Each structure stands twice: as structure tokens, then as C-alpha cells.
A and B are shown apart, each in its own frame.
Chain A
Amino acid sequence: MSSELEREIGHDEFDPVGTLGLITIYFLILVVLWIFMYFVEFAGGDLTVVGVVV
């Protein structure tokens, strides 16, 4: 590797939009899966154990 600096950018000039896009998609998948798992698969199921919260 050459040690010659080709271009110097500042901290916030580093702009990995691809990574941002990926983690955004990942985040949305997590949210959708959680809602599906909890409200549809679990809470939407029959015969759920109920009781009074002490």
C-alpha cells in the first residue's frame, strides 16, 4: 500500500450511505418481525395465560 495520502476527508465527510441503507432495512425488518411475533403470533393466539399483575 502506498503511504501517500490520496484524499483527506473530515470525520463527518465519511459517508457510507450503503451501510446506512442496510442498517435501516435491518431495523425495519426487526420492527416488523417483533410486531408480527408479539401481536399476531402470540397475542393473537387462543388460550393465553391471563391473570392479575401483582
Chain B
Amino acid sequence: MNIHTYEKFWLGASMVLIVGFILTITYGSVGLGIAMVDDSEPTINPENVGDHPDFGDPGVEQVGENEYVVHVVAVQFAYFPGEIEVPADSTVTFKLTSEDVIHSFSVVGTNANTMIIPGEIASVTVEADEPGEYGIVCSEYCGSGHHDMEGKLTVVPQDEFELEGDE
């Protein structure tokens, strides 16, 4: 087969591009630890989320020295709890479920974003490094009050952080 030099160049260049894409994604996942939201969590009965040992009393919970788990229940048209406070320099895992329809948990302006599906638990782990304030919105159309469905995530400096109920 007679392939023109320039065409060979382009074929080679596109191969380099594809290999480069794969390498960057591999670096992101192995080097930076970037993960996908998966279905590794167990399922849950959406009819009685309130009876669930964790989702019955949602909120922030400390599970390690700098590790926190936040259980959040989404309903039409709010998150419980609606205001979440976690300390800076910590690893935070959000466990999310819905009591009614599909919602989402989208921390605005960040890469933390997942669907919340009734009957399923979505788990999202992020590193909260810097103090800051983030809005949380539902980006799955979930009904007439969808536009009002929001929450707030505040990352506070470590010395200002206090777990709910701790005095």
C-alpha cells in the first residue's frame, strides 16, 4: 500500500494523541487517585430510610483522625441535613440516598457531583483541603420545586470545627 508521507504523519500523530489520552486518564486515576462514583455501596429500602441505622440520623460523623462520613438524605425538595460543616484538611465521604425520586448532589464549581437514586446509596469521597463555602444543588429535574432544592457545604478551619452535639 502506498501511503503518502503526510498521511503517515497524521496517522502517527493521531495514535500519539490516543495513547496520550489513555496515559493522562491512567495518571489521573493511579497518580492523582481520581475515582468514579460506583455501585459498590449496598442497596437500601427507600420506603423506610428513616429506620436505617445511618440514614435514620443523617449528618456528619467522625470515623478517623481526619476522616468524616456525612450521610445525606435527599427528598423533594431538600437535603437533610441542608447545611453541612466539615473541617479543612480532612477526607470527607458523602453517603447519599433518596426517599422519593432521582436527585443529584452537585457541589457547585467542583468535581464532586453524583446522582442520588432511590434504593441506592451513592458514595463520594473528597479531600477538603482549604476552608471555603460551596453551594449544593440538585441537577436532576425532580419536580415542581426542583429549582429550590439546595444545600450548603462549609469547609471550616480545623480549629473552628465542632461536631454537632459536642460542646
Contacts and interface: CB of A to CB of B under 8 A. Distances in A.
Most chain B beta-carbon neighbours within 10 Å: one of A11, A50, A53: A50
B24 interface: yes
A16 to B, nearest CB: 7
Contact of B125 (A39, A42, A50): A50
B111 A47 contact: yes
A10 to B, nearest CB: 10
Interface residues of B, number: 36
Interface of B: 2, 4-6, 9-10, 13, 17, 20-21, 24, 28-30, 32-37, 91, 107, 109-112, 114, 124-130, 132, 134
B112 A49 contact: yes
Contacts of A45: 109-111
A34 to B, nearest CB: 7
B125 A47 contact: no
A45 to B, nearest CB: 5
Contact of A51 (B5, B21, B24, B125): B125
